Chains A and B, each alone.
Chain A
Amino acid sequence: REFTFIHDEL
């Protein structure tokens, strides 16, 4: 499992 969360907000 290589899922990382991308947080595209500031």
Chain B
Amino acid sequence: MNLFRLAGDVSHLLAIIILLLKIWRTRSCAGISGKSQILFALVFTTRYLDLLTTFISFYNTTMKVIYIGCSYATVWMIYAKFKATYDSNHDTFRMEFLVIPIAALSLLVNHDFAPLEILWTFSIYLESVAILPQLFMVSKTGEAETITSHYLFALGLYRALYLMNWIWRFFAEGFFDLIAIVAGLVQTILYCDFFYLYITKVLKGKKLSLPA
């Protein structure tokens, strides 16, 4: 564990909690892509199956359980509890366009052709693009609530911090996982345009709106 990774995990946790609290306290999931949240629930489920087979540390297990629990709670709020506020007309990204090619890719490019390993690989690839329905929704409506942009920033920052963690681990331990690194790079690059808007607009007190 190094500082980059800890900061990355905290940023990830913060993102998840910001989103949960936003929906719970406003009693509304307006502007939130349920499809991205379904994809994240799928990411956590397929990645953390090792909870059943391998014990790494108390920290590791606790965080995994929290991520999975929060992610299902979010999906439940969007599709059940606050369904009436869910903006499905703007959440039109086709999930199968991501899930099917990624399932195929994880069968072809993985560390080991074993069920758990393939599911782990699938989750890494899927996570890298799972935010696309949300970004698509923001670009479709042309704006995002400030709290939603804080969520997106924390979520994007998490993988950027993990990239630094991987650089650290490469030099400190000689550890590198090419699948995670390439997918993490793709994931971080997808956020770059948003990071730019966040820094130039939201941090200056303006709402995130895209030029018409």
Q: A residues within 8 Å of B by Cβ? A: 3-10
Please tell me if the beta carbons of A6 and B116 are within 8 angstroms of each other in the complex. Answer: no
Contact B112 A9 (CB under 8 A): no
A-B pairs with beta carbons under 8 A, tally: 29
Indicate whether B35 reaches chain A with its CB closer than 8 angstroms.
Answer: no
Given contacts A7-B47, A9-B180, 20 further A-B contacts (CB under 8 A): A3-B112, A4-B53, A4-B114, A4-B116, A4-B117, A5-B112, A5-B117, A6-B54, A6-B56, A7-B50, A7-B120, A7-B177, A8-B56, A8-B60, A9-B165, A10-B9, A10-B12, A10-B60, A10-B63, A10-B64
Query: Which residues of B are found within 8 Å of A6, using beta-carbon distances?
Result: 54, 56
Identify the closest chain A residue to B56 (Cβ).
A8
Which interface class (under 10, 10 to 19, 20 to 34, 35 or more) fits B?
Answer: 20 to 34
Q: Is B162 among interface residues, defined by CB-CB distance under 8 A?
A: yes
CA–CA, A5 to B69, complex, Å?
A: 25
B111: Cβ under 8 A from any A Cβ = yes
